[in-house]
């Protein structure tokens, strides 16, 4: 499993869930420090990437075979190299658009040759009933593991509500790994 922008909130959630399900997890980040901080959390390998050379960095880390699943938090600008990195029958899940790039190039030959599966995830357009069903499934599938400590969220730092401005500054400085929590 490859997770782009693994230090993000969604990225670390995918890391935790991937490890819980027994996956080998490779993550990308622009920061070597953030990748090192995630190794004790189960990150098997980290790939330092930037806007240039993203595909080459991924390919050198995963080899020719590719990965079975990619959870992409970045967006359209990494769609093509992510598709290239998938193994036969691989699954690409787009869940974030951190870069703000909403369109990308899709090689339909690669899609067909590799028999790839594409999934888009967004809660924006879900109805109340669909959100309730997602919550019901979360409670049934993951709450026991959370309550028993088999899954633990990765929290970078916690701030009291009175320090909301400091919490915002911490997030904007982009030094966090995982979630930043506000205590009420």
Mean pLDDT for the stretch of residues 93-104? 91
Confidence of residue 88 (pLDDT cuts 50, 70, 90): very high
The Cα 4–Cα 10 span in angstroms is 10
For 148-160, the pLDDT digits (tens) are 999 999 999 999 9
- Is residue 153 situated within a structural domain? no
pTM over 0.95: no
Number of domains in the chain: 1
Mean pLDDT for the stretch of residues 141-147? 94
- Is residue 138 situated within a structural domain? no
Please, what's the largest Cα pairwise distance for the chain? 55
SS3 13: helix
Domain of residue 95, residue span: 2-121
Q: Does the pLDDT at position 52 exceed 80?
A: no
- Is residue 170 situated within a structural domain? no
Confidence of residue 58 (pLDDT cuts 50, 70, 90): confident
Average pLDDT, the chain: 92
Mean pLDDT for the stretch of residues 71-92? 94
Q: Does the pLDDT at position 51 exceed 60?
A: no
- Is residue 27 situated within a structural domain? yes
Whichever domain contains 60, its CATH number is 3.40.50.720
DSSP string, 89-114: EEEEEE---TT--------HHHHHHT
Share of the chain above pLDDT 70, in %: 98
Mean pLDDT for the stretch of residues 142-169? 95
- Is residue 134 situated within a structural domain? no
- Is residue 150 situated within a structural domain? no
- Is residue 139 situated within a structural domain? no
- The C-alpha torsion from 73 through 176 and 67 to 20, rounded to 10°, is -110
- Is residue 26 situated within a structural domain? yes
């Amino acid at each position: 499993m490859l997770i782009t922008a693994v230090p993000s909130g969604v990225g670390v959630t995918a890391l935790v869930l991937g490890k819980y399900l027994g996956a080998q997890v490779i993550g990308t980040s622009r920061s070597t420090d953030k990748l090192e901080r995630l190794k004790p959390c189960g990150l098997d390998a980290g790939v330092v990437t930037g806007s240039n050379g993203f595909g080459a960095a991924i390919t050198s880390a995963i080899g020719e075979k590719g990965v079975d699943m990619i959870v992409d938090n970045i967006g359209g600008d990494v769609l093509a190299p992510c598709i290239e990195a998938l193994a036969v029958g691989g699954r690409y899940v787009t869940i974030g658009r951190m870069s703000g790039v909403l369109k990308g190039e899709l090689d339909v030959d690669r899609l067909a040759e590799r028999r790839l599966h594409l999934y888009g995830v967004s809660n924006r357009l879900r109805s109340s009933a669909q959100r309730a069903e997602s919550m019901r499934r979360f409670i049934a599938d993951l709450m026991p593991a959370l309550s028993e400590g088999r899954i633990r969220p990765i929290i970078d730092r916690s701030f009291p509500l009175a320090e909301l401005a400091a919490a915002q500054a911490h997030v904007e400085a982009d030094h966090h790994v995982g979630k930043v929590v506000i205590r009420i």
